[in-house]
Amino acid sequence: MTVFLLILHGLMAVALLGALTHQTIALMRRAAVGKSTFLDRYMSVGQPGFTRAVVVLYVLSLALGAIIYPTYRLDVRIPFEEMGLLWAIGMFEIKEHLGGVGLGILPLYAVLWRAENFSTHGRARIVVTSLLAGIVWLDFIVGHVLNNIRGVGT
Amino acid sequence: MIRISPVTFAILYCIAYVAVLAFDAPLFRYYPMESEFSWGAAHDAAKEGPSMAWYGLMASAAVFASIGAAIPVLGKRLLALHTVLWLVPLAATLGCIFLMRNFFI
């Protein structure tokens, strides 16, 4: 069951990564009108449409991570401690705390993507969206690397 | 009817999260070996195995942020500070990483 939830957690994270990365890149570089290369089409996406998907995917992904977490604490972290892999424990601690902070950032992110704030809060929107994307990327990579060292369910 | 400002909630949550992390002040702890919760920040000696503070840290931060976000004027005032608003989540992220430095030195 835990392995199934871990795979689901990973798949949610992939979808979240895709949505957030797409939105962030589109935000940083406006699409050129009249061009039709792959990159131009990639950047001309309707960015606000991603916001609700990002919020839902983030909450679901975090909830799944929270359900799996006790298994990590007992079956993975204790062996990490015995192996002296403090850096791995530290990386997971960073992952969990940034995940927690990201949850709190979500309401601000959603407000900044509202139509009425679109023309006035450009910098805040860029920084907050990029920060959220950075958190999700870091959490994804750290989770993947640590699972390679000692996976949940091994 | 109490209305909670999402902007104020997010800003106060970020500040509160770093504070409760720094002072190790979760609202409760979870003991995975016994599948039980224990109120308060202190480790419950009667419980077996390691304790987990993460859920309690998020709950502590959410409680502080909810109380502050119920103050109506704060939301509009904070949103008006849009030129520096982004600094708080960024600082909270860096603060969390800084607090974990002991694992790497």
Q: Between these two residues, A142 and B2, which has the higher pLDDT value?
A: A142
The C-alpha of B74 sits at a distance from chain A's nearest C-alpha, in angstroms, of: 14
In a domain, A73, yes or no: yes
Left, alpha or beta for A10 (phi > 0: left; psi -120 to 50: alpha)? alpha
Please give the residue range of the domain that contains residue B10.
Answer: 6-104
pLDDT of residue A33: 54
CA atoms of B36 and A6, how far apart (whole Å) = 22
In a domain, A132, yes or no: yes
Q: Which of B96, B59, B92 is nearest to A108 (CA)?
A: B92
CA atoms of B67 and B4, how far apart (whole Å) = 8
Q: Which of B18, B20, B3 is nearest to A101 (CA)?
A: B18
pLDDT of residue B75: 67
Local structure of residue A114 (DSSP, 8 states): S
Q: Global pTM? A: 0.89
Q: What is the mean pLDDT of chain B?
A: 88
Residue in A69, A108, A117 closest to B54 by CB = A69
Alpha-carbon distances of B44 from A25, A59, A70, rounded to whole Å: 47, 30, 17
Predicted complex ipTM: 0.89
Residues β-bridged to residue B37: B30
pLDDT of residue A27: 81
In a domain, A107, yes or no: yes
CB-based contacts of B101, cutoff 8 Å, min separation 6: none
Q: Which of residues 8-37 of B touch A (CB under 8 A)?
A: 9-11, 13-14, 17-18, 21, 30, 32-33, 35
Q: Which chain A residues contact residue B17 at CB under 8 A?
A: 97, 100-101, 104
Residue in B35, B93, B100 closest to A101 by CB = B93
pLDDT above 90: residue B41 = no
Please give the residue range of the domain that contains residue A16.
Answer: 2-149
Per residue in B11-20, pLDDT tens? 999 999 999 9
Q: Which chain B residues contact residue A70 at CB under 8 A?
A: 30, 32, 35, 52
In a domain, B35, yes or no: yes
Residues β-bridged to residue B28: B39
- Is any Cβ of chain B less than 8 angstroms from the Cβ of A154? no
pLDDT of residue A44: 64
In a domain, A154, yes or no: no
Separation of CA B72 from chain center: 21
In a domain, B39, yes or no: yes
Mean pLDDT by 10-residue block, N- to C-terminus, for chain A (154 residues)? 89 93 81 62 68 94 94 90 91 95 94 80 87 95 89 70
Q: Which of A5, A54, A10 is nearest to A143 (CA)?
A: A10
Per residue in B93-102, pLDDT tens? 999 999 999 9
In a domain, B25, yes or no: yes
Can you spell out the DSSP letters for B11-60?
HHHHHHHHHHHHTT--SEEEETTTTEEEESSS--TTS-S--B-HHHHHHH
In a domain, B10, yes or no: yes
Residue type for position A130: S
- Give the up-direction half-sphere exposure of residue A103: CA atoms within 13 A in the CB hemisphere: 22
* Chain A: residue whose CA lies nearest to B51: A73
pLDDT of residue A115: 78
* Chain B: residue whose CA lies nearest to A94: B97
pLDDT of residue A114: 84
In a domain, B1, yes or no: no
CB-CB contact of B96 with A94 (8 Å): yes
pLDDT of residue A121: 77
**Using the beta-carbon criterion (under 8 Å), do A108 and B6 form an inter-chain contact?**
yes
Residue B3 pLDDT class (50, 70, 90 cuts): confident
CB-CB contact of B63 with A108 (8 Å): no
The domain total for chain A is: 1
Q: Which chain A residues contact residue B93 at CB under 8 A?
A: 98, 101, 131, 134-135
* Chain B: residue whose CA lies nearest to A126: B86
CA atoms of A92 and B33, how far apart (whole Å) = 20
Q: Which chain A residues contact residue B99 at CB under 8 A?
A: 97
pLDDT of residue A117: 74
Residue B82 pLDDT class (50, 70, 90 cuts): low
